[in-house]
A and B are shown apart, each in its own frame.
Chain A
Amino acid sequence: MTSPPVQLQAITPSLPTRRDKAVAPFRIMTWISKTITLLGAVLLGHACYSAQEHSALQSFKAATTTLTSTSAVASLPIDIAIETVVATLVILLGLVLGTRPLRPIQWNVWAGKIEREGEEGFLDSEGEMNRDFVGNPFSFLETRPGFVDIRKQRKEFAGWIKNSGPQ
């Protein structure tokens, strides 16, 4: 009955190294995505300001020159239009790059991914564990009485005793 804590002891030291390796690419990805989104937002803000100034100027001109030109307001300068479209696409790219990684929905594919990659496949873009992560769906098999490998656990326990004995 004392075996579960021993197992935990044996496993936890290996976890942080795995975490560190996993976090690095996600950090870079989220950094790229945020930079792109910010760049696009600046462009979009500038385009919005330009369009606003343009239409204000047009309506001012229309009011002063007493010419009945209603079509003048409708046309936007081509550079502002291009800037808007480009800014929209840039933000779109940034947002898509910033989405969380997907998970396979078929159970066998998903379990295979977990077995191969461990927990790093379930870190979100911040490098943290998802809230709704439920862990390895097959981990409960390890603790099921019929499947417990008592000899291996005893060996691990003996090794742990030996290692921590001199301290």
Chain B
Amino acid sequence: MAQVPVQTIHRDPQLFYWILFPITAVMILTGVLRHYATVLMASAAKKLDQKTMREQRSLLHGINVRGNSHALSKRSFTARRDALITAYESGAYLKDPERRGQAPPNPMSDPSSMEGMMGMMKNQMAMIIPNTLIMSWINAFFSGYVIMKLPFPLTIKFKSMLQAGVATKDMDPRWMSSISWYFLCIFGLQPVFNFLLGSDNAASQMAQQMGGMAPNAGQMFGPGVDPDKQFLAEAENLAVIEHYSVLDGVEQRLLEGIKV
């Protein structure tokens, strides 16, 4: 690589004004638009009827008792555990106890579960549609221009990606066309959105992908999950807990902490 003389291409400065800045401005504005579109389209949490709410909350109650058992004394933990296990196993908290043991209904036929899917679809659409539009816009108007040179060398493999639309065999892969500036913008504009919209904005695609991975409460009570099975599993989890309290030996720790 070092023997090859450095390629220099004299580019018209107008390329910057008519290609680089429009793409960057459109990318930033699309991010801002996407943020506000997501904020506007966010549907308020749907109201649940009393039975469903009781079912979900009592399951959460069991999980919280299990998670915070160390903060309870032995006696109160045992009392809570016994009460919860009996209620779970008898199905006292179920939404419709007579349907116990039957197969859960098809999630597609349940209108309440369709709502949640529509919400996810809307979010996905808000990401996919602008990206597709901008990409085809760039391909239609700006393909075939070499606008920039990357400051670091790349292998020849990147040539087809960076120089899409520029059919020149001998050009250094460091030269990049407008479509690769678009890709750089997708990944690199995150700090700009942070600065413009605050750090928890919806413009960033990376953050949304991260958020999609984390399990949330909506998935736990999602369609197609049999609540009875969840209750039974939770009762089993509660039954096997080996209880201890953080207050065990607290006098000892306090005396150790006091320095005369």
A residues sitting closer than 8 Å to B (CB atoms) are 59, 63, 70, 73
Q: Which of B3-47 contact A (CB under 8 A)?
A: 5-6, 8, 10
Task: Give bound CA distance, A59 to B5, whole Å.
Answer: 17
Closest to A71 in B: B6
Say how far B187's CB is from chain A's closest CB, in angstroms. Answer: 22
With a CB–CB cut-off of 8 A, which chain A residues contact B8?
70, 73
- Report the count of interface residues on B (CB-CB < 8 A): 4
User: How far apart are the CA atoms of A86 and B8 in the complex, in Å?
Assistant: 30
Chain B residues 98-117 with CB under 8 Å of chain A are: none
Residue in chain A with minimal CB distance to B5? A70
Q: How far is the CB of A149 from chain B (nearest CB, A)?
A: 24
Our count of residue pairs bridging A and B at CB distance below 8 angstroms stands at: 6
Q: Which residue of A lies closest to B13 (CB)?
A: A56
With a CB–CB cut-off of 8 A, which chain B residues contact A70? Answer: 5-6, 8
Q: How far is the CA of A133 from the CA of B178 in the complex (A)?
A: 44
Chain B residues with CB below 8 A from A59, complex form? 10
Cα separation A73 to B5 with both chains bound (whole Å): 14
Closest to B8 in A: A70
Give Cα A59 to B13, complex, Å.
13
Chain A residues in 8 Å Cβ range of B6: 70
How many angstroms from the CA of A73 to the CA of B6 in the assembled complex? 12
A88 to B161, CA, bound (A): 33
What is the bound-complex CA distance between A70 and B6, given in angstroms? 8
User: Can you give 6 contacting A-B residue pairs, CB < 8 Å?
Assistant: A59-B10, A63-B10, A70-B5, A70-B6, A70-B8, A73-B8
- The list of the 6 closest CB pairs from A to B, nearest first, reads A70-B6, A70-B8, A70-B5, A59-B10, A63-B10, A73-B8
Chain B residues whose C-beta falls within 8 Å of the C-beta of A73 in the assembled complex: 8
CB distance from A131 to the nearest CB of B (A): 9
Cβ distance B231 to chain A, nearest Cβ, rounded Å: 30
Write the chain B residue with the least CB distance to A62: B8
**Minimal Cβ-Cβ distance residue in B for A68:** B5
What residues of chain B lie closer than 8 Å to A63, measured between beta carbons? 10
Question: A63 vs B10: C-alpha distance in the bound complex, in angstroms?
Answer: 10
Taking the closest CB of chain B, its distance from the CB of A158, in whole angstroms, is 38
Shortest B8–chain A CB gap in Å is 7
Q: A63–B8 Cα gap in the complex (Å)?
A: 12
Complex Cα distance, B10 from A70, in Å, reads 13
Q: B176 to chain A: closest CB distance in Å?
A: 19
Q: Nearest chain B CB to A156's CB is how many angstroms away? A: 32
Q: What is the distance, in angstroms, from A15's C-beta to the closest C-beta of chain B?
A: 27
A134 to B6, CA, bound (A): 59
A59 CB → nearest B CB, Å: 8
